[in-house]
Amino acid sequence: MTVETTQRTQRALERIEETFGQGRNLAAEYPLVFGPEFPGSLVGLEKDGDVISACAILPRDLVCNGWLLRMGLIGSVTTAEEFRGQGLAGQLLERAEQTLFCDGAVFSMLWADDPKFYASKGYVPMGLELDYRFTADMAGKLPEPEGVRWMRSRDHDGVHGLYVRHSHRMDRNLAETSALLCGPEMTSLVCEQEGEIVGYIVMGRGKDLQGVIHEWGGSTKAVLACVRVVLDSLPQGSQGLFLMCPATAVDMRKTLLDLEVSALEGVLAMGRVIDLAGMAQVFRRFGDPRLKVEQDSNHVRLTGPNGTVTLDRKQCLLATMPPQGNRGVIDAMEAETGIRFDGLPLYPFAWGLDSI
């Protein structure tokens, strides 16, 4: 059996569609992965000339308040039924991580159908996502929907301009945003004032994220005016909808708190450090000049005036992008080294269109 970044792209796509397709057009839903003009690719295991296990990968730059951190997304991991239980998924995951590492990624990130499996491979929950629940009877609390209409292709430039104002996001260019906005089975609205797009929302993406507003941008008032239009259109007896929100969206969070819209706190994804040297640079960035940083193949050592702390890959992620912003590892790290790490934790965020 050989393990390689497969050249049998069509067969790898077919293998993925056999598991996840179910009549879906995955290439349309995930153009950054499957579109030839975009940076995504497929990794596969081959046996006797056939792809028996495959997944999708997508290198990305994570924007955290103006700072870029290279990472990689992994998704659609699948193995042919007759070959399951032979450890192929673990081999596939390792090759995907190696490929992303060669592209400069410091860590990999995925959304897990089987969290226990990925935990056994070193993945840990990371980040914070807030999900606000709206019911139809809340519509009257929201701004009047003046200027709200369906999104058109000519709006993509203005929508992208609002997207890049988010302080925490995946770095995208206009072509990528436009391709994502053309996906199937999405409800996309904009709020236009005096010829300018001042807010937008996107709900649904193919068979995923139905009933979830997973991307939005612009002024809080304009975004909530778009939400009101969706709420007004909900059928009788509907359970309502959810709005995904990063922890860093302060104005939106304050407004929703004032409106008494309840939020569920969850983690963003699961992640694993794949480049400890890159992670060492993260600690250097956020520690003060007294900090001494060393790393070997499995650990990063941080030394300050009080002493040394040694972190493995899991602890490195928990010290930089912990689940739900938990500062436990950071507080212990600061106490043991005597160094403050201002700016930690980071609050990475991937909007729904960026998922794979």
Please write the tens of the pLDDT for every residue from 172-202: 999 999 999 999 999 999 999 999 999 999 9
What pLDDT sits at residue 1?
54
| pTM to 2 decimal places | 0.94
Asked if the model's pLDDT at residue 14 lies above 90, the reply is no
Q: Is the pLDDT of residue 319 over 70?
A: yes
- Supply the pLDDT for residue 132: 98
Residue 20 has which token pair?
Answer: 């996840």
- Tracing tokens 């308040």 back to the chain, one arrives at 65
User: 263 has which bridge partners?
Assistant: 132
CA–CA separation, 10 vs 218, rounded Å?
39
Model confidence pLDDT, tens digit, residues 227-247: 999 999 998 888 899 999 999
Mean pLDDT score across all residues of the chain: 94
Closest CA to 100 of 108, 88, 92: 108
Beta-carbon contacts of 127 under 8 Å, excluding residues fewer than 6 positions away, are 267, 268, 269, 271, 321, 323, 347, 348, 349
Integer CA distances (angstroms), 338 to 279, 303, 312, 313, in order: 20, 9, 19, 21
Eight-state DSSP code of residue 78: E
Is the pLDDT at 6 greater than 70? The verdict is: no
305-330 burial, b at 16+ Cβ within 10 Å, e below that, comes to eeeebebebbbbbbbbbbbbeeeebb
Structure confidence at residue 2 as a pLDDT band (50, 70, 90)? low
Angle at 297 between CA 296 and CA 300, to 5 degrees: 45
Mean pLDDT of the region 316-336: 96
3-state secondary structure of 282: helix
Lowest mean pLDDT among 40-49, 262-271, 276-285: 40-49
pLDDT of residue 236: 82
The answer to whether the CB of 55 falls within 8 A of the CB of 79 is no
Mean pLDDT value across residues 301-313: 98
Beta strands in 206-291 (DSSP E): 208-218, 241-246, 263-266, 269-273
Rounded Cα distance, 58 and 129, in Å:
21
Question: Which domains, ranges and CATH numbers included, belong to the chain?
Answer: 2-105 (3.40.630.30), 129-266 (3.40.630.30), 275-337 (no CATH)
d(CA 224, CA 139): 9
Residue entry with tokens 């290198």: 59
Q: Which pLDDT belongs to residue 239?
A: 86
> Does the pLDDT at position 318 exceed 60?
yes
pLDDT tens figures, 100-137: 999 999 999 999 989 999 999 999 999 999 999 999 99
Rounded distance between C-alpha atoms, residue 344 and residue 62, angstroms: 15
Q: Can you tell me whether residue 311 is helix, strand or coil?
A: strand
pLDDT at 22: 75
Q: What is the pLDDT of residue 75?
A: 95
The pLDDT, as a whole number, for residue 47 is: 85
Which residue has better confidence, 168 or 16? 168
Backbone φ and ψ of 140, nearest 5° = -65, -20
pLDDT of 207 reads 84
Model confidence at 4: pLDDT above 70: no
In percent, the amount of the chain with pLDDT more than 70 equals 98
pLDDT of the residue at 94: 95
Q: What share of the chain in percent tops pLDDT 90?
A: 85
Least confident of 4-13, 256-265, 286-295: 4-13
